[in-house]
Amino acid sequence: MDSIFWSAYTVFHGEAAYWVIGNRHRNEEIAEKQKIMEAIRSSKPNLLKRAFPKMTNVKIQEILSELMMDKKTSWYTFMALCAFYKFKAIVVSGKTMLDFSPEGDSTGTYLFTMTMDGHASVDLTAISEEKELEIRNTHVLLDSNPEKRMKSASTYKMEDLKEMANTLEIVCGEKWKKTELYDAILEKVKGL
């Protein structure tokens, strides 16, 4: 099962609606994805461009294709789910986090947890601002660009990289250069 898709589905429709599906998961998934595709295609201006202004037309076409064909939800398609269902998501894995916050109205911010094997789960109660702040203070925020989790090394200050390494519990040498520290962090966060 596609745990990212079903977690987002459950946030919007509720846990009871999820359990009513029974053994018809694939049929419901196809029907739901068709609704999302139709909403993306028919919205003017485009639903995804309103929610995520940097979204390109090429990425939108890839998302539509994935919704139609793929059985696994990518982070780009998760962005579409956030925009369609109108919620913000913080995805936590270990000491790292991703922030998917579409612009516009939202029903709240939900905490998704990813295991190392790629399984997603969600807390169905929107988190408070205090809880969100706590998560932001104790986790390393990765770039929400699904293709590149961190910006280039030159965009970070050495102090920022040291703080990230400390949060991620990376033991670094005293004489490490900026690129060595960056590479160690990048290696640690590449799984999400």
Domains of the chain: 3-141 (3.90.70), 153-189 (no CATH)
Distance CA 109, CA 102 (A): 11
Which residue, chain included where needed, has tokens 């596609």? Answer: 2
Any bridge partners for residue 99, and if so which?
Answer: 90
Residues 122, 68: Cα–Cα separation, whole Å: 24
What parts of the chain have a pLDDT lower than 70?
Answer: 144, 146-147, 191-192
pTM (two decimals): 0.85
Q: Are 47 and 87 in contact (CB under 8 A)?
A: no
Give the model's pLDDT for residue 192.
61
Average pLDDT, the chain: 89
Torsion of CA 29, 128, 91, 77, to 10 degrees: 40
pLDDT of residue 188: 82
Contact 76, 40 (CB under 8 A): no
Length of the chain: 192
Q: List residues bridging with 141 in a β-sheet.
A: 97
| CB within 8 Å of 40: residues ≥ 6 apart | 46, 47, 48, 60, 63, 64, 80, 84
Residue 82: the pLDDT is 95
pLDDT at residue 191, as a whole number: 61
H/E stretch holding 90 reads strand 88-93
Distance CA 55, CA 158 (A): 30
